[in-house]
Amino acid sequence: NGDASNPACSGIEGVLEAYHRSLRSVQLYGPTNFAPVVNHVARSAAAVLDGSQYFVLLIITDGVISDMAQTKEAIVNVS
């Protein structure tokens, strides 16, 4: 949603709104390292033990992923 201190979105509509808003403000450039982002979201999700929240991580890239091996490992580990 663009708010790093409270990144929650409400429902699918909130996720779509955050996505559309981010399209206007995100500038893509390299290097592209996704493993830290995957691990950060996984830690946030792991903190919610009652299953009351969903966590959606949408990764959009414009080219080569610089840390492909680490990103694959992070995705496998958090799955």
Report the pLDDT value the prediction gives residue 64, as an integer from 0 to 100.
Answer: 84
Residue 23 lies in a domain: no
State residue 66's pLDDT score.
Answer: 93
Residue 15 is predicted with a pLDDT of 87
Q: What is the rounded average pLDDT for all residues in the chain?
A: 88
Report the distance separating Cα 54 and Cα 56, nearest Å: 7
**Is residue 50 in a domain?**
yes
Instruction: State which residues of the chain have pLDDT below 50.
Output: none
Whether 22 is in a domain gets the answer: no
The number of folded domains in the chain is 1
- Contact (Cβ atoms closer than 8 angstroms) between residue 38 and residue 68: no
- 24 assigned to some structural domain: no
Q: 53 lies in which domain range?
A: 30-78
